[in-house]
Structure 1
Amino acid sequence: MQTPIPLIRDVVMIGGGHTHALVARMFGMKPMAGARLTLINPAPTAPYSGMLPGYIAGHYARMDLEIDLVRLARFAGARLVLGQVTGIDRVAQRVQVAGQADIAYDIASVNVGITTEAPTIPGFTENALGAKPLARYTAEWDRFLSDATAGRRTPDVVVIGGGVAGVELSLAMMHHLKANGVTGARVTILERADTPLSGIGKGARKALLHHIQRLGVVLKTGAEVTHIARDQVHLADGTSVPKSFCVGSTTARPHDWLQDTGLTNDRGFIDVGETLQTLSDPLIYAAGDCADLTHAPRPKAGVYAVREAPVLFHNLRAELTGGQRKAFKPQKTFLKLIQTGGKGAIADKAGLRLDGPLLWKWKNHIDLKFMRQFEEYPEMPAPPLPRDVAQGVREEMGDVPLCGGCGAKVAPADLQTVLQTLPATVRKDVLSGPGDDAAVLACGDGEQVLTTDHLRAFVSDHYRMARITAIHAMGDIWAMGAKPQAALASIILPRMGAKLQAETLREIMQAATETFGAAGAEVVGGHSSQGAELTIGFSVTGLAGERTISNSGAQAGDVLILTKPIGTGTILAAEMRLLAQGGWVEAAYRMMEHPLDTAAGILTPVAHAMTDVTGFGLAGHLDVMLKGSDVGATLNLTDIPLLEGVATLADQGVRSTIWAANRAAVQMQADMTTAPEILLFDPQTAGGLLAAVPAAKAQMILEKLQDAGEPAAIIGEVTEGSGIMLA
C-alpha cells in the first residue's frame, strides 16, 4: 500500500487579490505534493476591480464581480482562513490574524491591494469612505442608492479626486441615479489641482470631459477639502458643497499594518525585486498594488497584478522544489479602457480619442472572460480504483464525497442496533445509560454530566474547525441544563512534518482553550495520533444545577422552540462539490460558532425536555424526544428557520451523505417536495437547542431569547398520540 505523502512546507498567501486568486487556481490545476497552501482574506469573496464602475452604473449584479474564495480554495486544495491580517512576525515566521491563532509560514506572499481612504482630512473617517477597499464602498453605495431612490436621503454625491478613477466612478454613479429616476441628482467632483485627468492622453481627457458635461456632473478644480461634515464638504476658499454620500478617490495608499513589517519603503509600499521577492526578506513575496517594482517602476494598475500571477506561481514552486526563479518583466505601457457611465467606454493610448459602445463590448468581454476562470472550474478526476475490487466497493463509494462534520456519522438505525446490545447500568452512581445527550453521574451531593464527540474536519481553517467542534461537543452539556467543567482533546492529524504538526496542534489547542474558557471550562489534556485525515474530538464534563434536563419529558400542549436555523449538512455537502456560494458557507460557519450557553440559560428553568439538534437532523432528534415521552408533535414547516441559500441547494437536489439514512429512521408522512420537508432530515453540526416548554410561557421565553440575540423560533407543538405531523 502506498504511504500518503506527508505535508512538509507551508505556503501562506495573504490577501485574495487578483494575483493570488490566479495563483491559487494554478495550484488547483497543478498541485504540489508535500506543500500546504493557505489563503487568508477578511471576507469569503474578493471583488474584481475591473468591473466596479460597471457595477456602480447598474450593468452588473454584485455577484458578477465577486471572486468566490471559498469555491476557489476548495478547487485549489487550500486552507482558507477568513480574518483580517494585522501583522507579520518575521522572526517567528507567523502571520498575525485578528481573532485567530497566528498562521505559520515557510514562504509567504502578500497581495492585499491598496486603500483610498484619507483619514488625514478632518471628518473623513466619520463622514466619507474610500473607493478602495471595494467591499465597503459597494455596500454603502447600495444603501445610499436605495435611500435616494426612495426619497429617504438627498441625492447629493461628492467625489474627492479628479483622476481617472474618480471621474469613472462619478459618471457611473450619475448614470445609475438618472436610470433609477432620481430627480435632482447631483454628483460633484472635487479636484485639488487646476488640471483634471492629468495622467491620461489628450484625446482621452477630451472625451471624458465631454461625458462629464453630457451627464451633468459638476467638476470643480483647485478645490482643496478642509473638512467633511455630516452633510457638507468644506473647501479652503470658504465655500462648501452639499453631500449625502461622499467617496474619496485620491492617491492610493498602502494598508497601515504593512508599515510595521519592516518590508516597506518610505511610502509604505513593499519593495520587491524582479523575482517578486521582497528586498527585506527573501521568504516573503509581494504582488499587485501593495508592492513597488524597484527594478521596473510602474503605476498601480490591475493589468500588472494579473500578469504577475504566472511568475509568482512559478517562483513559489521554485522555492518549494529548489528550482530556478523567473524574473517579472512588466510591459511599459498598456491600453486603458475607461467606462463612461452607460454602456460606452473610451480608450487611452498614444493620445488617440477612441470612444463608443464597441469599446464597452470589448471591455465587457475581457472582464467576463477573466471572471469565468473563477466560475467554471475543470473537473479534476479522482484517483482511479484498482482494477480488482471487492463487490460493492463502487456502490459504497458512490459519486459524491463523504461529508464532514455530523454528515459523516453512522446511520441512526445502525447506531441504535449497537446501543441496544450494551448492558444496563448497574452502578448506583451512574444515573442514566445510553440514549440521552449525556450520561448523568452522581458526584457527591450533586450531579455531573459526561459526553464525548468528534468531527471529521470540514473547515480547512484548523482554529475554526476546533472552535466549532468544541461548541458542538458542549452542546450535549448545555442541552442537559448543565455548565461545562473540563475537556479532554482527541486529535488525529494527517501525516506531516514535525514543524507543521506542532503548528497545527498549536492552532487547534489555542482555539480549544479559548472556546472552552469562554464557557467556563478548562482543557485539561488529551491525546493525539496520526491518521488519514484531520479529526478533532473532545470529551467534556459538566456540572448540573438544580436539575438535569432529559430529552424525554415533553408534555402534550407544550410548544417547541428551536434556537438556530437548520441546513448545515446541505451547505457543507454543497461546498465540497463547489456548489455553494461563499457567503452562504461563511454564514453557516458563523452560526455553528455561536454557542448555546445563553439559550440554555434561558430555557433550562422552564423546559420539560430539551436536546441539541445534530447529526440525525431536526426530525430525528424530535422523534427521539417524542418516543421518550410517549407523545406526538405537529411542526409548522413555514416557521422552521433555514440558513441562507440552503433552500436553493435542497431544491437543486443537494443532500448530505447521511440524509437518506436519517429519512429512513423516522416514520412520518412527508412529500419531500419542498425545502423545509427535505431539510427536516439534514444533519446539523453545532446545531441549536430544541426545547419543549409550557405553552403559557412560550411567547415570553421566545422574546427573552430573541432579546438576547438568539435566532430562535417557535416551530410547532407537542400533541397527544404519537409521530410527527406537518402543517
Structure 2
Amino acid sequence: MRTTEQPVLQDIVLVGGGHSHVGVLRRFAMNPVPGVRLTLICRDTHTPYSGMLPGYVAGHYSFDDVHIDLSRLAEFAGARFYRDEVTLIDRANRQVQCRSRPPVRYDLLSINIGSTPSVAHIPGALDRAVPVKPIHRFDRHWQALLNRVQQNQAPQAIAVVGAGAGGVELVLAMQYRLQRALAELGRAPDALRFLLLDAADSVLPTHNDKVRQRFTSVLAERGIEVHLNTRVVAVDAGALVTEAGQRIATDEVLWVTSAGGPAWLADSGLAVDERGFVRVRDTLQTETDERIFAAGDIAHMINHPREKAGVFAVRQGPPLADNLRRLALAQAPRPYRPQRNWLALISTGDRYAVASRGGWSASGRWLWRWKDWIDRRFMARFNELEPMAMDSAAADTRAARSDDDAQQAISALAMRCGGCGAKVGGTVLSRALAQLQPVERDDVLIGLHAPDDAAVLTVPPGKATVHTVDFFRAFIDDPYLLGRIAANHSLGDIFAMGAEAQSATAIATIPQGIESKVEDVVFQMMSGAVEVLNEANCALVGGHTGEGQELALGFAINGLIDPQAVMSKAGLAAGDSLILSKPLGTGTLFAAHAQLAARGRWIDGALASMDQSSRAAAQCLRAHGARACTDITGFGLLGHLVEMVKPSGVDVELEIDRLPLLEGAEETVAAGILSSLQPANTRLRRAIRDQQAWVAHPRYPLLFDPQTAGGLLAGVPSGHAEACVAELRQLGYQQAAVVGRVVTRSGEPEPVTLLCRT
C-alpha cells in the first residue's frame, strides 16, 4: 500500500475501467494532488483495448497483449481498486452502491463503463444471441466456440448482426481464425458459413464511399453472406427472423448493434438520451450533477455528438483528468471540444487494414503494421510500469479543497495526543458500528449489544475455551476486503484446533484524517470482518481502535471445544497422509504486486483464496479422522510443518511437486521476488534432509513463503485421504491435495525428506 502523511480531503471515485479512466489513472500517477484519493470500481481486473480486439479474435495477439491490467495500473497510481459492479448512484448521500460490497462514498464521481448492445426488445435474443459487450462474456463464448471447432464440433453457420466497423471487423477476424482451425483438421474452410446482417443499406454506413466499397469487395471475396436492409426482429432456435418474415438459418448469433446504457444510470436520476447514454456538457460533467462526470461510449456530449468510437474515449482521458483535478482544487472546469474527423484503421482479419478519415481512404499491409505499432505503443503506456516513489512524483503542490469542518480537523492532526488520546473518536466509532449487525449468541452476556468495560461470556458444561490472536498491517487498499481476510486469518487457528468460534474482539489502527473519511474506513473494514464472523457464528463483542500511520487490523478470538476432541499439532502418526486444503504463494505474489510485477488475475486468485473460510475444511478433515492440524500462516509451510513434526515424534516425506500453488507464484519466485519475512523463514531449511540438493528446485522457495489466511495442513489416516480430498474439492477447496506422508522417526537430525515424483 502507498501511504502518505497528507490526510484524505477529496475522494474521486472512477466507475468503470474504460479508455478514459485508464488515462485519468496514469495522469494522476504522474502528477498526484495532495489530499485526493482515487478509487477505481470495476467488475473486471483486465480491461480490453478495443482497437486490438479484432486482432485478438484473429489470433494475432494474446490475451495480455490486448488487455490493460487495472490492478497494476491502480497500484501504480496509488489508487484503491475495488473489483465490483456498480448498481446505483445515491446522489443524495454521495454514495455508489455496489453488487457485492458496502456503499462507497465519493466527493467527485466519473463514469466510464462503455456501452452494451441492447437485445431485450428482440424476442429470443437474450437467450440465443451473444452481445459482443461486455467483452469478458463475449470472450468466454468465443473461446468455447474456438475450442468446439478445434475439437471438430464446428457449427454450420455463424451470424453477426451489425455491419458497422465493429461487426465487419469481427466477422472477418472470426472467419480468418476459424478457417485456419478447420484447415488444421483437414476440413474445407468453406464448411463453415458466415453471415453479416444489418438494417442499413450499406456496410460501414458512417464511413466514406471508398471504404464502404473496399469492404463490400473484401466481404464478397471472403464468401461472407451480407444481408442489408434486413432488420432482425426475433431470434429463434437455429434461425434469425427478419422484419419481412424471412427465416435465416444460423447456429450462432453475435450482436454488435443497438448499443445503449444500463438502466441504473437513469434510475440514479441522471439525465440520459433516448438510448440511455448520460448527457454531458462540454466539461464532461453530467447535465444533472456537476459532481458527476461521464466519458467514453457511455457519454453523450450534448453540444458535440459523435460516433461511438474508442478514439474519442482515449482523447477524453486528459481533459477528464484535468477537470477532476480542477474541481478537487476548487477551480472552474474547462470545456473540451472533440475533433470532427478521426483516423480509423479497420482490419480485414488478416494482417491488412483500411484507413478511413473523412473522405480519404487507403489500404495495405503497411497500414496494419502501422496500426500494430500504434496499438502496442498505446498499450505500453499502461502495462509497462515501474514503481514510483512518492517523493519522485511531480506532485501538484496545491492541496485539495475541504470544507470548514475538515479544515478544523486538519489543524488538529498536527497536535494529536498519544496514549488514550490516540484513540479514534467515540462518535466516529459509534456511527460506523451502528450500521453493523454482528451475530448474537445466547452465551454472550455482555457484548456490543450492551457495551461495558469488557465482554462477559459463559462456557457451556463439558466445553473448554480456546484463545488466539492475530494482527497485521494492510497489504491491500480495499478496507472491506482487508476486514474479510483479517477475520478469516484470525479464525484459522480456532478451526485448526477443531473448535467452534464464540466471540471476537477487534484491534485496529486507522490512519489519521477528517472524521468522515475515518468513519468510512472503519465502516468498510468492519463490514467485511463482521460478514465473515457472522458466517462463523462468531459474535463481535468489542475492540479497540487507535490512530496510526498505516491501516492494520487483527482479532482476539475465543472458541469452544470438546477437550477430548482437540486436533493438536502433536497428533501426527506414522501412516498418516498430509493434506493441504489451500494453495501456497500469497507472500511472493503480494511482494510482486507492490513492485508492479504481478498480473492482476494472479492477485485476484490470491485474494479469493484468502477470502475463503477454513471452517468447512476443518470439519471435513475432522470427519475423515484427522488427528493433527494447523493453519499455514506467517511461518510458511515448512515452519508450521516442523511445529507438528517435533512434538509428534515423527518424520515426514513431503512431495514438492504435489504442492498446490496459486497462479503466478512460481513466476514471481523465479523472478527473485520474495516476501520480507522469507529470510527469517528460510533459517528452518536445516530441517530438510539433504537440503542442498533441493535449493535449485523452482518450488523450493515456496516452502518458506509466508501465507495470509492460508490453508489447513492436517494428518489424515491414509485410508481416508482420497475420500477426504474429494470432499474438500466438492466443498470448494479446488486445489486441496495430498502433499506427503508421515513416517516413523528415523533418528536423523532432519525430520523432513523432500520427494519429487515427476
CA distance in 1, matches of 2:19, 2:148: 32
Give the 3-state SS of the residue equivalent to 1:600 in structure 2.
helix
Residue 98 of structure 1 and its aligned partner are, at CA, apart by: 0.8
Q: Deviations over 1:361-404 (max 9, x none)?
A: 221121111101012225524659xxxxxxxxxxxxxxxxxxxx
CA distance in 2, matches of 1:23, 1:383: 20
What is the identity, as a one-letter code, of the residue corresponding to 2:354? Answer: I
Residue 307 of structure 1 and its aligned partner are, at CA, apart by: 1.3
Are 1:653 and 2:672 an aligned pair? yes
Equivalence for 1:434 = none
> Among residues 182, 198, 204, which one is paired with 1:197 in the alignment?
204
The aligned runs of 1:436-451 (5 Å cut-off) are 444-451=461-468
Residue 443 of structure 1 and its aligned partner are, at CA, apart by: 6.2
What is the identity, as a one-letter code, of the residue corresponding to 1:320? Answer: A
Equivalence for 1:405 = none
> Among residues 370, 376, 394, which one is paired with 1:362 in the alignment?
370
The question of whether the paired residues in 2 share the 8 Å contact of 1:153 and 1:244 is answered with: no
CA distance in 2, matches of 1:677, 1:25: 37
> Among residues 190, 193, 214, which one is paired with 1:186 in the alignment?
193
What is the identity, as a one-letter code, of the residue corresponding to 2:712? Answer: L
> Among residues 586, 589, 599, which one is paired with 2:604 in the alignment?
586
The aligned runs of 1:596-615 (5 Å cut-off) are 596-605=614-623, 606-615=625-634
Equivalence for 1:455 = 472
Give the 3-state SS of the residue equivalent to 2:113 in structure 1.
coil
Residue 238 of structure 1 and its aligned partner are, at CA, apart by: 4.2
CA distance in 1, matches of 2:498, 2:27: 50
CA distance in 2, matches of 1:162, 1:299: 14
The question of whether the paired residues in 1 share the 8 Å contact of 2:638 and 2:684 is answered with: no
CA distance in 2, matches of 1:552, 1:696: 20
CA distance in 2, matches of 1:592, 1:328: 45
Are 1:242 and 2:246 an aligned pair? no
Task: Decide which moves more: 226-235 or 106-115.
Answer: 226-235
Are 1:73 and 2:80 an aligned pair? no
CA distance in 2, matches of 1:194, 1:279: 35
CA distance in 1, matches of 2:68, 2:597: 14
The question of whether the paired residues in 2 share the 8 Å contact of 1:9 and 1:500 is answered with: no
The aligned runs of 1:31-50 (5 Å cut-off) are 31-50=32-51
Give the 3-state SS of the residue equivalent to 1:520 in structure 2.
coil
Equivalence for 2:595 = 577
CA distance in 1, matches of 2:272, 2:42: 24
Specify whether residues 568 and 3 from structure 1 end up closer, same or farther in structure 2 by C-alpha distance, changes over 3 A only.
Answer: closer
> Among residues 696, 705, 712, which one is paired with 1:682 in the alignment?
705
The aligned runs of 1:91-490 (5 Å cut-off) are 91-182=92-183, 183=188, 184-267=191-274, 268-381=276-389, 383=391, 444-490=461-507
Specify whether residues 645 and 342 from structure 1 end up closer, same or farther in structure 2 by C-alpha distance, changes over 3 A only.
Answer: same
CA distance in 1, matches of 2:670, 2:121: 51
What is the identity, as a one-letter code, of the residue corresponding to 1:223? Answer: T
Residue 568 of structure 1 and its aligned partner are, at CA, apart by: 0.8
Equivalence for 2:586 = 568
CA distance in 2, matches of 1:127, 1:639: 42
The question of whether the paired residues in 2 share the 8 Å contact of 1:15 and 1:39 is answered with: yes
CA distance in 2, matches of 1:705, 1:378: 40
Residue 174 of structure 1 and its aligned partner are, at CA, apart by: 0.9
What is the identity, as a one-letter code, of the residue corresponding to 1:553? Answer: G
Structure 1: tracts of 5 or more residues without a match: 385-440
Q: How many residues align?
A: 670
Are 1:520 and 2:544 an aligned pair? no
The question of whether the paired residues in 1 share the 8 Å contact of 2:503 and 2:540 is answered with: yes
Are 1:507 and 2:515 an aligned pair? no
Are 1:639 and 2:658 an aligned pair? yes
Are 1:665 and 2:689 an aligned pair? no
The question of whether the paired residues in 1 share the 8 Å contact of 2:76 and 2:387 is answered with: no
Residue 351 of structure 1 and its aligned partner are, at CA, apart by: 2.8
Specify whether residues 155 and 60 from structure 1 end up closer, same or farther in structure 2 by C-alpha distance, changes over 3 A only.
Answer: farther
Give the 3-state SS of the residue equivalent to 2:720 in structure 1.
helix
The runs of 4+ residues in structure 1 deviating greater than 6 Å are: none
Specify whether residues 353 and 274 from structure 1 end up closer, same or farther in structure 2 by C-alpha distance, changes over 3 A only.
Answer: closer
CA distance in 2, matches of 1:579, 1:229: 48
CA distance in 1, matches of 2:193, 2:6: 62
Are 1:28 and 2:45 an aligned pair? no
Question: How high is the sequence identity, in percent, across the aligned residues?
Answer: 38
> Among residues 715, 719, 722, which one is paired with 2:739 in the alignment?
715
Give the 3-state SS of the residue equivalent to 1:282 in structure 2.
coil
CA distance in 2, matches of 1:350, 1:677: 60
Give the 3-state SS of the residue equivalent to 2:338 in structure 1.
coil
The question of whether the paired residues in 1 share the 8 Å contact of 2:207 and 2:358 is answered with: no
Specify whether residues 3 and 564 from structure 1 end up closer, same or farther in structure 2 by C-alpha distance, changes over 3 A only.
Answer: closer
Structure 2: tracts of 5 or more residues without a match: 393-457
CA distance in 2, matches of 1:695, 1:230: 52
The question of whether the paired residues in 2 share the 8 Å contact of 1:10 and 1:37 is answered with: yes
What is the identity, as a one-letter code, of the residue corresponding to 2:216? Answer: L
The question of whether the paired residues in 1 share the 8 Å contact of 2:273 and 2:279 is answered with: no
What is the identity, as a one-letter code, of the residue corresponding to 1:113? Answer: G
The question of whether the paired residues in 2 share the 8 Å contact of 1:554 and 1:629 is answered with: yes
Equivalence for 1:62 = 63
CA distance in 1, matches of 2:28, 2:4: 22
Are 1:702 and 2:730 an aligned pair? no
CA distance in 1, matches of 2:206, 2:118: 20
Residue 320 of structure 1 and its aligned partner are, at CA, apart by: 1.5
Give the 3-state SS of the residue equivalent to 2:279 in structure 1.
strand
Task: Decide which moves more: 612-621 or 311-320.
Answer: 311-320
Q: Deviations over 1:651-683 (max 9, x none)?
A: 121111111110103421432222322101101
CA distance in 1, matches of 2:272, 2:383: 37
CA distance in 2, matches of 1:632, 1:205: 75
> Among residues 496, 510, 513, which one is paired with 2:513 in the alignment?
496
Query: RMSD across aligned C-alpha pairs, in angstroms?
Result: 1.8
Residue 514 of structure 1 and its aligned partner are, at CA, apart by: 1.3
CA distance in 2, matches of 1:378, 1:589: 23
What is the identity, as a one-letter code, of the residue corresponding to 2:724? Answer: I
Specify whether residues 91 and 75 from structure 1 end up closer, same or farther in structure 2 by C-alpha distance, changes over 3 A only.
Answer: same
What is the identity, as a one-letter code, of the residue corresponding to 2:610? Answer: M
TM-score (norm 1): 0.89
CA distance in 2, matches of 1:49, 1:152: 29
CA distance in 1, matches of 2:718, 2:344: 67
Are 1:51 and 2:52 an aligned pair? yes
Specify whether residues 471 and 190 from structure 1 end up closer, same or farther in structure 2 by C-alpha distance, changes over 3 A only.
Answer: same
CA distance in 2, matches of 1:688, 1:379: 31
CA distance in 2, matches of 1:478, 1:232: 55
Task: Decide which moves more: 665-674 or 499-508.
Answer: 665-674
What is the identity, as a one-letter code, of the residue corresponding to 2:740? Answer: G
TM-score (norm 2): 0.86
What is the identity, as a one-letter code, of the residue corresponding to 2:609? Answer: M
Give the 3-state SS of the residue equivalent to 1:346 in structure 2.
strand
Residue 196 of structure 1 and its aligned partner are, at CA, apart by: 3.2
CA distance in 1, matches of 2:146, 2:383: 28
